[in-house]
Amino acid sequence: MTPTAKLIRCLTGLGLLMASSLVSAAAPAAACPSTLNHTLLRLQDEKPQSLCQYAGKVVLAVNTASYCGFTKQYKGLEALHQKYQAEGLVVLGFPSNDFAQEKGSNKEIADFCESTFGVKFPMFAASSVRGEQANPFFRHLIAQGAPSPKWNFYKYLIGRDGKLVESYSSMTDPDSRSLTSAIEKSLKARP
């Protein structure tokens, strides 16, 4: 085989390898539902986190605040997360000052949540969850028909298929039968 033929064969093989890598890289993104196809900053260290890592799980997304009458719900949310995590539930917290009840830095919020309520479920950097300034995840939820949060600790249950199952007001405690029944039903469903 001539050197030119070897080079062509090598480049062709490299091209196929690169094309294969691109297809492989695109495959996980295609499996990520549009609801979760967003990247937000993690609360503790402000490192970008793709919500696609939760694709195939049941997600309970909650807008939170540290100085609210409903702040005690952190404890129940963490209990839900611990109880159903092995079955595929993930609770996601989104601190927000939209209702003037979240005043600290991201580090202060993270420290407060962990030291006061033992929060271990994933939380994201403080952001808006309402209106034009809402983070892209909440903008997407609302564009898909979910009600905009009327107060802190609104809850959004998202099925394994990435579709909104139900939303719950702040008045719905994490251990309420309506919420836990919907979580259990969603955990049994397969996309």
Amino acid at 98: D
Per-residue pLDDT, averaged over 86-107, amounts to 95
Question: 32-83: per-residue pLDDT in tens?
Answer: 999 999 999 999 999 999 999 999 999 999 999 999 999 999 999 999 999 9
Tell me: do 21 and 115 sit in the same domain.
Answer: no
H helices of 2-119, in order, are: 3-31, 73-84, 106-117
Residue 24 pLDDT level (bands cut at 50, 70, 90) = very low
**Do 164 and 145 meet the contact criterion of CB atoms below 8 Å apart?**
yes
Query: Taking 70 as the threshold, does the pLDDT of residue 151 lie above it?
Result: yes
Q: Is 47 exposed, middle or buried (0-12, 13-18, 19+ CB in 10 A)?
A: exposed
Instruction: Pick the closest to residue 78 from 64, 99, 68 (CA basis).
Output: 64
Residues 62, 21 share a domain: no
Domain identity same for 175 and 142: yes
User: Do 41 and 129 belong to one domain?
Assistant: yes
DSSP character for 124?
Answer: B
Q: Name the percent of the chain lying above pLDDT 70.
A: 84
Residues 15 and 59 in one domain: no
User: What was the pLDDT predicted at 1?
Assistant: 55
pLDDT band at 10 (very low <50, low <70, confident <90, very high): very low
Tokens of 153: 């600790």
**6 and 59 in one domain?**
no
Q: At what angle do helices 106-117 and 73-84 cross, to 10 degrees?
A: 80
Which residues are catalytically annotated?
Answer: 68
| Residues β-bridged to residue 61 | 92, 156
Domain enclosing residue 11, as ranges: 1-31
Statement: residue 30 has pLDDT above 60: no
Higher-pLDDT residue of 10, 135: 135
Whether 87 and 21 share a structural domain = no
pLDDT tens, position by position, 158-183 = 999 999 999 999 999 999 999 999 99
Query: What is d(CA 147, CA 167) in angstroms, rounded to the nearest whole number?
Result: 7
50 and 67 together in one domain: yes
Structure confidence at residue 17 as a pLDDT band (50, 70, 90):
very low
Q: Does the predicted model carry a pTM greater than 0.85?
A: no
The backbone torsions φ and ψ at residue 173, rounded to the nearest 5 degrees and listed phi first, read -70, 150
Into how many domains does the chain fold? Answer: 2
